[in-house]
Amino acid sequence: MVNTNFLVIGSGVAGLTYAVKVAQRFPDKTVVIVTKADEQESNTKYAQGGVAVVLDLKEDSFEKHIQDTLLAGDGLCDEAVVEMVIKEGPKRLKELMLWGANFDLNDSGTLDLGIEGGHSINRVVHHKDITGFELERVLLQQVHKLSNVTVLPYHFALDLITEHHLDIPESKNISCYGAYVLDQNTGDIMTIKADRTLLASGGIGRLYGHTTNPTIATGDGIAMAYRAKAEIKDMEFVQFHPTALYDKKDGRSFLISEAVRGLGAVLRNKNGHRFMPDYDKRAELASRDIVSQSIDNELKKTGDTHVFLDCTLLDIDVFKNHFPNIYQECLTNHIDVEKDWIPVVPASHYLCGGIVVDKNGKTSVTNLFACGECSRTGLHGANRLASNSLLEALVYAHNIFEYQAAHPVEPVHAFIPEWDDVGTRTPKEYVQIHHNLTQLQALMRDYVGIVRSNNRLTKAVRHLDLIYNEVEELYKDMKVNTALCELRNMVNVAHLIISQSLERRLNKGGYYNVDNVPAAEKDSVINDWI
Ligand code: FAD
Ligand code: SIN
């Protein structure tokens, strides 16, 4: 049994920012960060475009960023949250810079501001096209300076500890007492008792075979919170990024940042037609729900597997300077962006919903907080505005820290039993886990993709039931291991996405169900294939 004051699950921007703050404020208290891969691995590490912040008050304003966020969220954002996050942004960015984060400067020595889809003006602060890598570098550097923080890489959080595990009668008020954690190197299961637990476990991209997310993005935190009976909302709003590099194989797709379209690249179908102006007057810089749905429509009309991003009209030196990583990855794939169009296709990228939190990051479970992509704050509504995710994580990590500093808790003296694995066996083969994972990813891709229908969603419920039963059988039988637990979590998350999709009767932002389209709109350009 390990006792700590603060347990953090995840080492992306959300978990690390929070950990630095609580550890600095409470040098006599302990912080444990568990993270299931190496300490840098996270969605954060791959963030390209940057952090959206209002800095240039001559050209930009909080009001403009608020309006862009509300427009992208298609009427479902919480306006008070939007205002709070956007107004706090500059302070949080300044703090990151004081910790040592380097962002690109323009010729006049001020921060260079990029633009992405849905933004009405340049406001995206970035470090080349590897902004997330820079954030992880700085935050980990800060964490390692603090002697009261312990980072445990390759430690997988299995389940939150609640009354369900204790000898305490369950009531409506559920509390969190820490988590059971698998040491992936030894196979041992640790009981980590904590006064306060933060879920900062990131997104769900891996539910779809084709995703911009790394393999860690399996929705573990959301599934753990769901099993602990926390409120989960807006799961139908899975965001697909319009421009992932096309690859015939499933797996992590390399992202071609929206900032490339911000610089002037245009989308063409294979006949060379620039199709985005047919769909939206903002063309390639429409919000990403619209660009992804438009590409999906083009692909369905033509039967093609991908469209193209044409950068050939851009100044190649400017391109190389802004996007060295993208330039290099394209070259590795035998694409010379100066001459060749880049083949692109939408891929699952971000989850707008998640664990419901208030403005202090509190979930509906006492002493359990959530931050970053696993949380649902109300900022994004039905569709996240580009580069608002890193911003949200930075602002909420701070709010949670402030709240906890102002509301200290007494440690709970409860008896917490060790993990019970009586009756389970070491697995002799993993083929059933792999088979079910492949089935799940195919189901999500084919039945729960960018464009949904009641018929496909209902079939998805039936197929998922079969997968669920097989996975639960394996779970009862096998000693826990990462692959099995990730699969079980993904099945839980798939259930939430599908069931909440079926509940949604009105299409909004990133949610598009052909059966929700009013008859009068059926002949609009985006629906012409129905
Ligand atoms: P993550 O950074 O994903 O961190 C989650 C952490 O939790 C990881 O360390 C993981 O290992 C750990 N974890 C998960 N489950 C467990 C478990 N069971 N046990 C222990 N540890 C666990 N957003 C922007 O605002 N701007 C951008 O430019 C941008 N570009 C992006 C580009 C790409 C390719 C991708 C994939 C995303 C991008 N996003 C961008 C989105 C943004 O990067 C993420 O939403 C954000 O970084 C999430 O941060 P996080 O801390 O919540 O989660
Ligand atoms: C990108 O650079 O296109 C990703 C930005 C984001 O997801 O916010």
Residue 150 is part of a domain; what is its CATH number?
Answer: 3.50.50.60
The residue segments making up the domain with residue 8 are 2-236+352-406
Q: Is residue 527 part of a domain?
A: no
Nearest to 418 by CA among 176, 192, 154, 153: 192
Pair 40, 177 in one domain: yes
Last residue of a domain, one of 333, 349, 365: 349
- Residue labelled with tokens 């476990």: 201
User: In this structure, which long-range contacts are made by residues 450-454, counting pairs with CB atoms below 8 Å and at least 24 apart in sequence?
Assistant: 450/240, 450/292, 450/293, 450/296, 450/346, 450/512, 451/293, 451/296, 451/300, 451/512, 451/513, 451/514, 452/501, 452/511, 452/512, 452/513, 452/514, 453/513, 453/514, 453/515, 454/502, 454/513, 454/515
Q: Which two tokens stand for residue 404?
A: 């906890």
Local confidence pLDDT in tens for the 530 residues of the chain: 999 999 999 999 999 999 999 999 999 999 999 999 999 999 999 999 999 999 989 999 999 999 999 999 999 999 999 999 999 999 999 999 999 999 999 999 999 999 999 999 999 999 999 999 999 999 999 999 999 999 999 999 999 999 998 877 777 799 999 999 999 999 999 999 999 999 999 999 999 989 999 999 999 999 999 999 999 999 999 999 999 999 877 678 999 999 999 999 999 999 999 999 999 999 999 999 999 999 999 998 989 999 999 999 999 999 999 999 999 999 999 999 999 999 999 999 999 999 999 999 999 999 999 999 999 999 999 999 999 999 999 999 999 999 999 999 988 888 899 999 989 999 888 999 999 999 999 999 999 999 999 999 999 999 999 999 999 999 999 999 999 999 999 999 999 999 999 999 999 999 999 999 887 776 554 544 33
Q: What is the DSSP letter of 26?
A: -
Pair 43, 66 in one domain: yes
Tell me which residue has its CA closest to atom 29 in ligand 1: 47
Whole-number Å distance, alpha carbon 469 to ligand 2 midpoint, is 36
Q: What is the pLDDT of residue 525?
A: 46
Q: How many domains does the chain have?
A: 3
Q: Which two tokens stand for residue 77?
A: 């954002």
Q: Is residue 147 part of a domain?
A: yes
Pair 110, 232 in one domain: yes
Pair 281, 363 in one domain: no
Pair 61, 77 in one domain: yes
- Distance in angstroms (rounded) separating the CA atoms of residues 498 and 424: 31
Q: Is residue 530 part of a domain?
A: no
Q: Which amino acid is at 56?
A: D
- Distance in angstroms (rounded) separating the CA atoms of residues 237 and 376: 11
Q: Is residue 419 part of a domain?
A: no
Q: Is residue 424 part of a domain?
A: no
Pair 441, 507 in one domain: yes
Q: What is the pLDDT of residue 342?
A: 98
Pair 232, 343 in one domain: no
What is the pTM (predicted TM-score) of this model? 0.97
Q: What is the pLDDT of residue 491?
A: 98
Pair 110, 206 in one domain: yes
Whole-number Å distance, alpha carbon 258 to ligand 2 midpoint, is 6
- Distance in angstroms (rounded) separating the CA atoms of residues 29 and 27: 6
Pair 323, 363 in one domain: no
Tell me which residue has its CA closest to atom 21 in ligand 1: 35
CATH number at residue 448: 1.20.58.100
Asked if 379 contacts 352 with a C-beta cutoff of 8 angstroms, the reply is no
Pair 49, 103 in one domain: yes
Instruction: Return the best residue to mutate from 51, 68, 134, 257 for the ligand 2 pocket (most ligand atoms within 8 A of CB).
Output: 257
Q: What is the pLDDT of residue 168?
A: 77
Q: Which two tokens stand for residue 35?
A: 């993270």
Instruction: Return the best residue to mutate from 201, 325, 380 for the ligand 1 pocket (most ligand atoms within 8 A of CB).
Output: 201
Q: What is the pLDDT of residue 524?
A: 56
Tell me which residue has its CA closest to atom 43 in ligand 1: 44
CATH number at residue 307: 3.90.700.10
Is any ligand 2 atom within 6 A of the Cβ of residue 348?
Answer: no
Chain length of the chain:
530
Q: What is the pLDDT of residue 528?
A: 44
Is any ligand 1 atom within 6 A of the Cβ of residue 37?
Answer: yes
Last residue of a domain, one of 302, 326, 349: 349
**288 classed as catalytic:** yes
Q: Is residue 105 part of a domain?
A: yes
Q: What is the pLDDT of residue 510?
A: 97
- Distance in angstroms (rounded) separating the CA atoms of residues 157 and 34: 7
Last residue of a domain, one of 406, 423, 445: 406
Q: Is residue 207 part of a domain?
A: yes
Q: Is residue 529 part of a domain?
A: no
In which region does residue 264 sit, left (phi positive, over 0), alpha (psi from -120 to 50) or beta (all else)?
Answer: left
Q: What is the pLDDT of residue 523?
A: 55
Pair 25, 156 in one domain: yes
Pair 373, 246 in one domain: no
Is any ligand 1 atom within 6 A of the Cβ of residue 14?
Answer: yes
- Distance in angstroms (rounded) separating the CA atoms of residues 10 and 33: 7
Whole-number Å distance, alpha carbon 448 to ligand 1 midpoint, is 22
Whole-number Å distance, alpha carbon 116 to ligand 2 midpoint, is 8
